[in-house]
Amino acid sequence: MADHSKPPKHSNSLTYWIAGAIVAAIAVALLFPNVAVHFDIGGELFLRALKMIVVPLVFTSVMCGVLGLGDVRRLGKPGAAAVGYYLCTTVLAVIVGLIVVNVVRPGVGTINKEQLEKFATAEEMPDQVLRRTLAAESGLSEDAVASVFTDLPADNDEAPSTNVILKNLALMLVTDNLFGAAVETQLLPIIVFTICFGALLTTMPDETRTIATFVSEANHALLSFVMALMKIAPIGIFCLVTARFGKAQADGRFFEELGQIGWYFAAVLIGLAIHAFVVLPLIFWIVRRENPFRFAAAMSQALLTAFSTASSSATLPVTLECAESAGIPKRSTEFVIPLGATINMDGTALYEAAAAIFIAQAIGNDLTIGQQAIVAVTATLAAIGAAGIPEAGLVTMLIVLGAVGLPLEYIGLILAVDWLLDRFRTTVNVFGDSVGAAVVGVTIPEDAPSAS
């Protein structure tokens, strides 16, 4: 069996090229917005190329991670550590968001009455606005948007209850059609099936040696494909960012809206910065006693790709490659990061909590401590249930607002700047995934056999 234990070579020059591409893209978009919007085809091609390998890579990487643990009984400790880490960091992110928004109070005295009345008297139902906006921003069809959360209301302004999201979270674990889940990039049921199937294979190592070898070789080939794809990443990322920022500039509404809700925008960024530069690095240092910022620098390609694509699922191949290059045990990256790309949404949870409090402040309905606790719980559950696609947080925001009786129509206050905030919170999500792999890696026995 070939030895693929050596991590792939990590190119710092590529990171500089990607960062330069993002800066150049923003400059072109601001100066020539009508030209910039025509770069969307290049960006879409690059995004599709990344998404194309997500499903097979999730299957092979998770399978390798499970097989690498050897005995199925070894799954318990790292599995519990991964789920526990993701749940704890999501709760911490929500708490950070609530603290920041209560200190900054971005909704107090910043929104004029005319703007509030515009949303209050809108003829369209908020879910219709959401579906159309999300479809336009993410490039998904409205049917695909509806499938992100299957019990979203279609004809009324009632938000789904917490019971609905708990039901959907349970149903998301298993699918009645594995190939259908693959077509729709529903990663969670694929991961559950792969873990169960891989665990079964560990109980019959002699009979399944050929399967293990095939999966290991396929995983190595897919990661090599990712490395080849990243050579054109600066071009693809330039097109992605140019088209999106150019559209915002051409529409002419972004800076006008930002002037109205600039304090909200700043509050969310402050919260994300605290979580990314204080909370997650502190957890990393406590567990591993290593420099967290050196680790963040090693993950820079994945973080820049996350900012560019606004999709943790699309960034998954790059996250796996960077984490392995950063020295995280392969068994941990293969097992933990795909799971994190599906259920770990620290940035999304923080944003949903902050946005709910902002809307409450804007309409003069300060929430009590008890109501804010409900927001915290609901935002945590909604974030876990959000798909790893652009702006899925907007969809699950309905649940958070409905949980404390806030009018759903005022979600329109945050739509104009959400596409940009989505990029920042996705970057935080991806960094949280990589820190999770590093943290959970210490729970995996060093004598565990390698699947490769």
Tokens of 94: 């929500």
**Confidence (pLDDT) at 365:** 79
**Confidence (pLDDT) at 269:** 94
Helix ranges, 344-414 (H)? 346-362, 369-385, 392-403
Question: Would you tell me how many other CB atoms lie within 10 Å of the CB of residue 170?
Answer: 9
Show the low-confidence residues of the chain (pLDDT under 50).
1-8, 138, 148-159, 388, 450-452
**Confidence (pLDDT) at 152:** 46
CB 126 within 8 A of CB 120: no
CB 106 within 8 A of CB 264: yes
**Confidence (pLDDT) at 5:** 47
- Listed by start position, the domains of the chain span 12-443
- CATH homologous superfamily of 12-443 equals Sodium:dicarboxylate symporter (1.10.3860.10)
Q: Where are the beta strands (DSSP E) in 209-304?
A: none
How would you class 147 by CB atoms within 10 Å of its CB: exposed for 0-12, middle for 13-18, buried for 19 or more? middle
What is the spatial distance between Cα 345 and Cα 335, in angstroms, rounded to a whole number?
Answer: 17
